[in-house]
């Protein structure tokens, strides 16, 4: 009986010994060091290398991310995930470490890798773990008090290390051809332009953001039409013979169409196939959006309801009605949104010498920003000089 028990003990010990390597392979591959945090928060890492297959010398895009965003991230402010690395395993088994990288506010990184030989490459994203420190917090929120800071309660938590699965890419000797691009048109075309395959349209789709831009009569950035043409005409004021019988004996009279050197088409702006222009001359007011292809009016913005202009008129100063100054194409890039947004601006100098700015939505003509706030936003994107 004793010998039987010993045999059982030996078998159990053997099973435990044999099972140890399998158990060890299940442990996290990141060397985690115990960190004293308020709470230890588990994390998961992911990576997506693409495309596959791909040719030698072509670019592999590497998109990596953590399952949790940095809790205090708020636009340009707040914490980021730091010291992220990518392990690249080449076909011969050797490895290369890329990084370290700092994530964007959404906890993502985007990198590139160019393979030099054929075979199977693998990629892993490694997050070393991080004690959330509350770095670079939004000063406006800090001034308002800690309770208003996004993710403030998470400061002091330890976000544990993690490593993504190994994801492979097949690299071949033959290059993968790029997606075909459509040639530029030789006949009539209209906006908007479908994006896929039409990237060359950027050479002819140049917008005209202001008559005061450098060059005034040319657009240096795009190819202009090479043929003379008139698409449509549109009156901007009354004209011709007036119906006033009392002056027939003296040769009749015509409608007044403005001073001899008065600009009848001030500050035209072209964006995305739309023509925007101010209505006539002072004391007229407002501005119009016209489809550049058809000549049909899309909307008219009166503009006199804006409080700053009414305020000037009420004080006896010469009314300053909105007139277009320029257009703006804001290339907005964030973790969740990418692309161009169009805005219209009207600016003038108030009697007290201050510069007054107002922002309008180019799609509807609606006034969307208070004057000072709009000016500050433009400065935030483009610097102190706007």
State how far the Cα of 207 lies from the Cα of 329, in Å rounded to an integer: 9
The DSSP annotation for 150-172 comes to TTGGGTT-EE--EEPPPEEEEEE
Q: Which residues contact 120 (CB under 8 A, 6 or more apart)?
A: 91, 168, 169, 170, 171
Task: Tell me what the mean pLDDT of segment 277-285 comes to.
Answer: 68
Q: Give me 97's structure tokens.
A: 């470490």
d(CA 128, CA 85): 8
Instruction: Find tokens 């993504």 and name the residue.
Output: 164
Q: Which residues pair with 338 in a beta bridge?
A: 333
Per-residue model confidence as pLDDT tens digits over 186-206: 877 777 888 888 888 887 877
Q: State pLDDT tens for residues 150-175.
A: 888 999 999 999 999 999 999 999 99
- pLDDT over 60 at 248, yes or no: yes
Count of structural domains within the chain: 2
DSSP state, residue 153: G
Provide the 3-class DSSP secondary structure of residue 16: helix
Res 123: pLDDT? 98
12 domain-assigned: no
Q: Which residue has the tokens 């004080």?
A: 315
Q: What is the mean pLDDT of residues 27-34?
A: 45
H or E stretch covering 374:
helix 371-382
Kindly state whether residues 287 and 138 are assigned to the same domain. no
Domain check: are 162 and 281 in the same one? no
Could you tell me if 215 and 361 lie in one domain?
yes
Q: Under 8 Å CB-to-CB from 219, ≥6 apart: which residues?
A: 206, 208
In a domain, 183, yes or no: no
109 pLDDT higher than 90: yes
Asked if residues 32 and 40 have their Cβ atoms less than 8 Å apart, the reply is no
| Burial bucket for residue 297 (CB in 10 Å: 0-12, 13-18, 19+) | exposed
Q: Is residue 14 part of a domain?
A: no
- Give the integer Cα–Cα distance in Å for 195 and 229: 27
What is the rounded distance in angstroms from the CA atom of residue 321 to the CA atom of residue 325? 12
pLDDT digits (tens, 9 = 90+) for 311-336: 454 445 555 566 788 898 888 776 66
Interval 332-353 mean pLDDT: 77
How many residues comprise the chain? 386
163 and 288 together in one domain: no
What residues have CB less than 8 Å from 331, skipping those under 6 apart?
A: 339, 340
pTM confidence score: 0.60
The answer to whether residues 152 and 276 belong to one domain is no
For residues 111 and 209, membership in a common domain is answered with: no
Cβ neighbors of 161 (< 8 A, separation 6 or more) are 28, 30, 31, 32, 43, 126, 127, 128, 129
Are residue 132 and residue 279 in the same domain, yes or no?
no
Percent of the chain with pLDDT over 70: 70
> Are 162 and 30 contacting, i.e. CB atoms less than 8 angstroms apart?
yes
Q: Is residue 165 located within the same domain as residue 212?
A: no
Mean pLDDT of 222-234: 71
What is the share, in percent, of the chain residues with pLDDT greater than 90?
A: 33
Locus of tokens 């001359």: 281
Claim to verify: residue 161 and residue 210 sit in the same structural domain? no
The CATH code of the domain that includes 78 is 2.60.40.1930
> Region 243-260: what's the mean pLDDT?
75
Range of the domain at 358: 199-225+261-382
Asked, for residue 233, whether it belongs to a domain, the answer is no
Q: Does one domain contain both 144 and 211?
A: no
- Are 133 and 45 found together in one domain? yes
Q: Output the pLDDT for position 260.
A: 65
Give the tens place of pLDDT for each residue, 12-29.
344 444 444 433 333 344
Rounded mean pLDDT of the chain? 78
Name residue, tokens 């998470």. Answer: 154
Same domain, 209 and 158: no
Asked, for residue 296, whether it belongs to a domain, the answer is yes
Partners of 357 in the β-ladder: 347
What pLDDT is attached to residue 13? 40
């Amino acid at each position: 009986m004793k010998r039987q028990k010993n045999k059982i003990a030996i078998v159990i010990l053997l099973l435990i010994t044999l099972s140890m390597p399998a158990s060890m392979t299940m442990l996290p591959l990141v060397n985690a060091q115990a960190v004293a945090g308020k709470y230890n928060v588990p994390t998961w890492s992911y990576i997506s290398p693409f495309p596959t297959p791909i040719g030698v010398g072509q670019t592999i895009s590497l998109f990596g991310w953590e399952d949790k965003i940095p809790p205090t991230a708020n636009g340009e402010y707040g914490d980021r995930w730091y010291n992220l690395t990518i392990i690249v395993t080449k076909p011969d088994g050797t490895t290369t470490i890329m990084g370290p990288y700092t994530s964007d506010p959404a906890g993502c990184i985007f990198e590139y890798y160019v393979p030099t030989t054929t075979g199977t490459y693998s990629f892993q994203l490694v997050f070393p773990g991080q004690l959330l420190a509350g770095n670079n917090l939004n000063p406006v929120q800090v001034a308002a008090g800690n309770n208003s800071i996004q993710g403030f309660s998470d400061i002091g938590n330890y976000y544990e290390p993690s490593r993504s699965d190994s994801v492979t890419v097949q690299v071949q000797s033959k290059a993968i051809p790029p997606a075909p691009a459509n040639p530029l048109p030789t006949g009539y075309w209209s906006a908007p332009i479908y994006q896929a395959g039409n990237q060359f349209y950027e050479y002819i789709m140049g917008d005209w953001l202001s008559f005061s831009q450098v060059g005034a009569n040319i657009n240096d950035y795009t190819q202009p039409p090479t043929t003379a043409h008139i698409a449509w005409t549109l009156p901007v004021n009354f004209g011709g013979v007036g119906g006033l019988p009392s002056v027939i004996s003296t040769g009749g009279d015509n409608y007044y169409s403005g001073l001899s050197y008065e600009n009848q088409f001030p500050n035209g702006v072209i964006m995305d196939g739309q023509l925007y222009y101010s209505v006539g001359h002072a004391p007229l007011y407002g501005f119009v959006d016209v489809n550049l292809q058809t000549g049909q009016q899309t909307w008219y913005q009166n503009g006199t309801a804006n409080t700053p202009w009414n305020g000037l008129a009420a004080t006896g100063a010469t009314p300053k009605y909105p007139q277009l100054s320029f257009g703006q194409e804001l290339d907005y890039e964030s973790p969740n949104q990418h692309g161009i947004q169009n805005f219209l601006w009207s600016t003038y100098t108030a009697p007290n010498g201050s510069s007054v700015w107002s922002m309008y939505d180019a799609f509807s003509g609606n006034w969307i920003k208070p004057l000072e706030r709009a000016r500050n936003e433009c400065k935030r994107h483009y610097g102190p000089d706007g």
